[in-house]
Chain A
Amino acid sequence: MDFARYVLAEPYFGWLCTGVLMTVVITIASSSVAIAIGFVVVRCFLSNAVVLRSLAFCYVIIFRNMPLMPFLLFLAFGLPALWRDVLGLSLPRGFEFPLLVSGLALNAAAYLSEVLRAGVAAIAPQQLESARTIGLRPSAIRRRLVYPQAVRIVAPALASRFIHNMKNSSLALVLPLPLGMMEVVGQAGRIAGETFSWAEPLIFAAIIHLSFALILGRLLNQWATRVQARVIGIS
């Protein structure tokens, strides 16, 4: 074991730092997109239109049951090939990062929307009736009452989904990302490729992931407990 040589020495330490930063960027980007998609899916589930509800249902069924890594591989290699065959064009350069983020987000949103749907289902219907008697329209009820409460009710589950997203970001290594955009596990692999030393950089990546998960988990849980207390009636 020679951490000084394979982790702390330049340029490897710089690569790993870039990796840590990219892990954060990928996690935040994919989680944000997932939240947006998740709410759209929940909105579809709440719709009166059977078509929208069925679409939401199919989306969740498909993306929750599809393993993430083959899906990312398909996005990275299958999709460009299809694109070329069908349209006769190659994908524009720099497509990997948006593809990675959308792949992670599509997967995460399927879980997220189910978590949010549970939160929506937990809201007492009498409360929504009282909202109707004070003249609130369905859109206002969703925006001001249903979504804010659903998020609070399932806050701990949302927090754990966020941690999942961070861990899933390491699957970025299956995509041909530019070197400067690889996350920490990918950068560890890059060091290993140059030095034939796998253990040290991967242990470093593991420590990063573990400590991020523990710290974030703790912070998010504090947030979750605080916002949840109000809506489930503990003060």
Chain B
Amino acid sequence: MRQSTTVLGATLPLAVREVHPAVLRVTAISKHYGQRSILRDVSFELQRRQVSALCGLSGSGKTTLLRVISGLVGFDTGQFVIGNRIVRAGARYPPDAYGKIGMVFQDHNLFPHLTALQNVTLALREFKRLRPREAHDRAMAELERMDVAPRRHQYPATLSGGERQLVAIARALALDPMLLLLDEPTAQLDAGRTEEVRDRVLELADAGMTMLLVTHNMTLARQAADSFGLMKNGTCTVSRDPAILDELRSPD
């Protein structure tokens, strides 16, 4: 007897899932703010090493979806599975799920009173409870990977926009998450800085990091992602074909 499961709207043999276990499986999530429906019945699945680009007009629910997955806001119906944890609507977000999902915000949200290095070591000390030495080495490894290690003693105020975003990525990666959520990481950067961040994101994709990348940058989406989600009025359509993003092109 062939068991099957629904992935990305298509029916696939269960065996496929076992080879590439799902890191994130979102099932029928909806969210309202009062009368306004922000997310409607959103379902999708991210497998290990998969990079998915989530695009859509402003206000289509992209950021809310990331905030739901990262546990910053609740949702009304549905559930999602992250690793071996199930998060149900209305239930408490499991505290250990925070370390499993790394989140990079549009405007970096670094801690201004801490140096780049301290920004990265903070959670290693407080959440992972590493010794100072171990936390330092772990943080340095991520800062080096993001190519900002020489700037480690700078405060966020003295870093460039691109460097801040790279430190923010290093901070998220330091906890060794199984999934990295990036919320328009290049939205506030000029072309040169965008390239800096894009290169690092592409390297991460090559290294097999599972990522959900919200972006308005179609070039970045096409280069980094192997699947594409289009958000529209709170609904999400997923495809392997980047052509679904074509409707977002400005009519010129």
Contact = CB atoms under 8 A, between A and B. Distances in A.
A132 interface: yes
B143 to A, nearest CB: 15
Contact of A234 (B105, B157, B175): B157
B113 A152 contact: yes
Contact of A135 (B98, B105, B107): B98
B113 A148 contact: yes
Interface string A119-154: 000001011011111111100100011001100100
Interface residues of A, number: 25
Contact of B112 (A135, A136, A233): A233
B155 A230 contact: yes
B103 A135 contact: no
Interface in A134-177: 134-137, 140, 144-145, 148-149, 152
Contacts of B71: 132-133
Nearest to B66: A133
B202 interface: no
Contacts, number: 76
A156 to B, nearest CB: 16
Given A134-B127, A136-B126, A230 B113 contact: yes
B112 A133 contact: no
Interface residues of B, number: 29
B146 to A, nearest CB: 16
A134 B113 contact: no
Nearest to B105: A130
Contacts of B168: 130
A137 B96 CA distance: 11
B188 to A, nearest CB: 13
Contact of B123 (A129, A134, A152, A234): A134
Given A127-B109, A133-B103, A233 B127 contact: no
A231 interface: yes
Given A144-B122, A230-B155, A235-B157, A134 B175 contact: yes
Interface string B96-115: 10110111010101111100
A144 B155 CA distance: 16
Interface string A193-235: 0000000000000000000000000000000000001111111
Interface in B132-171: 155, 157-158, 168, 171
29 contacts: A127-B109, A127-B112, A129-B109, A130-B103, A131-B111, A132-B72, A132-B98, A133-B71, A133-B72, A133-B103, A134-B99, A134-B122, A134-B123, A134-B171, A134-B172, A134-B175, A135-B96, A135-B126, A135-B175, A136-B123, A136-B126, A136-B127, A137-B126, A145-B111, A149-B112, A152-B113, A230-B112, A233-B157, A235-B155
